Structure 1
């Protein structure tokens, strides 16, 4: 295949994967809603003009023009005005915020027939509402787990090995990483020791080396002391003693910290090692923590992205839209220096990470995100349970319509963010090299 075809293949695979993930996310809402007896009138993948639809039973299924999104229409998401039955929600209101809620209720019940009233969503008990709204994010998290497992249990995890890939010619401070060696830069200890790419380090100061992480920590702890390195070259065992130097390097345990540590001047090759299910859980747990931190830093990162729209340098750790993600996938699959296994590994992990992000992002307790509805259902359960304990009248369903102004504000912010990300991904995209 040509580079252009490989690029297109990677982009299409990622976009199709995202579209399928979105479709399954909506199934995660629709399936429990139907099981609990709520009436689902529409299931659509995408937004905008309808390209195709068909009706099965009481539900219309279809695809719209812009497939990167979707929705399920469950009747009765909003309760009627206090004191009104659903079929008579027609009273006028005063005040802008009150009017917003009134208009939303009117639209909600415009097509509700009297026989549908027992099946309205707001009539479900609180825990059923929570399950319906958590179903979508739960599906994304399940997809992420399945994709991580598929990669780590078959291909394996990409691990740094103890085989040398690169030997540095000189010692360059981490703050100046990327520049070439200068005449006054000290020669790297590995260069002095005549270590070569392909050498496999077997021991360090008499201790057997079993992993790159172990070796790296041993080198760092050695300071500027002598180090006896046992290695294997072309099937023969060799040994050399050289003083490691001390250089400023990023801490292995705290990426925001720089410390003076021992330096040898070798970089490892990477290989795949098959893992077990425990590794999948551990890795997904670590990535969940990282993703939550990334979501927390999203406002700050969006400032960087906005600056990039006006020509500033785009950081590789800035958020991307589906357009940007597909471009990165295209770069991965069109890279001539990577194997087919590398391409499958990288694109699959990318899709898994995107599902993890979508699942966690949707759990933010703000409308119109799923987390906002979940929070309302949980509050309803707490409030009604407290009333029962105090033997007071049950307050009934939480009126999420009162939070519609927040939903509109959050929706507007998300829309603006989406437009900015798509624009910057076109004019100043994230590049792998």
Structure 2
């Protein structure tokens, strides 16, 4: 990853976090103001403050540490630990004087806004991009291709997928769906040499699969057998041998040196066998046959991309369909995360291998801005942020919710002293987690460059 790529990745992460944190804290602010609670400060990022302005009773700030944000709500024990304010007589505009149900809504405001944002982003993606997938029948024409990770559970190249967890998959993407992989006792049923066989997803496999040491392409342990498909020329580099010889995008290679080309494997074989030589290409273009002399470089390349003749299913979603698909996709993220946490708790997934902090997230966003990827990751993170904030840990929204539910059930609130201690304990836990995640990121970076 070059310096420019790293900067682009960092800027994407900062933009995404600013959107997520800003809307999360806005949810708290609007809920508090609706119920007449004074909000003293609204900040994106943690101090020191870069700049800010005051509007009404609230100071709005942009702060230097872009790893979160906060709202300072009057009459509440929060990150500020403002015990001086809490020692005074309560005022009618303070958080602590409001009914428990109103305080609960204020605490849930950020989570609700993150859920709404995640759902809206996924709906917009569904409506904008529609659906495109490879049907399972197309995959099973030639069977699957597997890498070392796939072979570790017993899959083999050429296997045909009959079902997953007893149900026939609709599309290739279903074979790698994290929701399926993280299910308890998940398995593939495959056909090999005319016989069916069950392939279990093992805990050993999950440890490898969840490791952030694996590159994205290595985690795609099942692919389609592209080398078996017919193809056409894709993008052509004008300064490479193919471009100089006159090859164009969409040309279909029929023969190379009198050898008939039926699939990419036979084409690739000819290039490897004739590295450094000139070959005679017979191509079909606009219904006509053309012969072109093409020189093969020493590394067996000619400077073209490949467009495989794979039968995709592609269709747009109506707005109504997008509402359903986007909502299901968004809440599916929470389901996958919940399964992942469960697997971590059981020891099937190693937390240090699977957790990523800011450094890992920069790499996820990538070195180039791509609207689809940026918004999909942002929508994903919005749902994850909602789930994490709902965890019953003091100092998180979920901790406040837990204590408020206790008050609503028992009819008596925890003491201010208890809440103050719980807040301190929660802040220490979160700080330790942040140190662990940062250190884990740095250690992974060091290992990758050893």
TM-score w.r.t. structure 2 length?
A: 0.60
**Could you tell me how far apart the structure 1 residues matched to 2:13 and 2:34 are?**
32
Are 1:212 and 2:212 an aligned pair?
A: no
Residue 249 of structure 1 and its aligned partner are, at CA, apart by 3.0
Are 1:108 and 2:67 an aligned pair?
A: no
**Could you tell me how far apart the structure 1 residues matched to 2:125 and 2:424 are?**
39
Question: 5 Å matches for 1:150-299?
Answer: 150-157=124-131, 159-161=133-135, 162-164=137-139, 167=142, 176=151, 188=158, 211-212=170-171, 223=191, 243-246=193-196, 249-250=199-200, 266=225, 273-275=315-317, 276=321, 277-297=323-343
CA spacing shift, 1:295–1:251, aligned 2, 3 Å:
closer
**Could you tell me how far apart the structure 2 residues matched to 1:124 and 1:404 are?**
19
CA spacing shift, 1:78–1:15, aligned 2, 3 Å:
closer
2:439 aligns to what?
423
CA spacing shift, 1:69–1:153, aligned 2, 3 Å:
same
Are 1:139 and 2:166 an aligned pair?
A: no
Are 1:346 and 2:373 an aligned pair?
A: yes
**Could you tell me how far apart the structure 2 residues matched to 1:64 and 1:9 are?**
21
CA contact (8 A) 2:391 2:399 kept: yes
**Could you tell me how far apart the structure 1 residues matched to 2:191 and 2:343 are?**
35
CA contact (8 A) 2:343 2:349 kept: no
**Could you tell me how far apart the structure 2 residues matched to 1:416 and 1:166 are?**
51
1:322 aligns to what?
358
Residue 163 of structure 1 and its aligned partner are, at CA, apart by 3.9
**Could you tell me how far apart the structure 2 residues matched to 1:323 and 1:357 are?**
17
Residue 160 of structure 1 and its aligned partner are, at CA, apart by 3.1
**Could you tell me how far apart the structure 2 residues matched to 1:147 and 1:409 are?**
35
Residue 156 of structure 1 and its aligned partner are, at CA, apart by 2.7
1:30 aligns to what?
29
Are 1:149 and 2:123 an aligned pair?
A: yes
1:67 aligns to what?
66
2:14 aligns to what?
15
CA spacing shift, 1:365–1:213, aligned 2, 3 Å:
same
Unaligned runs of at least 5 residues, structure 2: 161-167, 176-187, 207-221, 227-309
CA spacing shift, 1:15–1:163, aligned 2, 3 Å:
farther
CA contact (8 A) 2:119 2:330 kept: yes
**Could you tell me how far apart the structure 2 residues matched to 1:380 and 1:215 are?**
44
TM-score w.r.t. structure 1 length?
A: 0.62
**Could you tell me how far apart the structure 2 residues matched to 1:266 and 1:374 are?**
51
Question: What RMSD, in angstroms, separates the aligned Cα atoms of the two structures?
Answer: 4.4
Unaligned runs of at least 5 residues, structure 1: 80-102, 191-208, 225-242, 257-262, 307-313, 335-342, 385-394
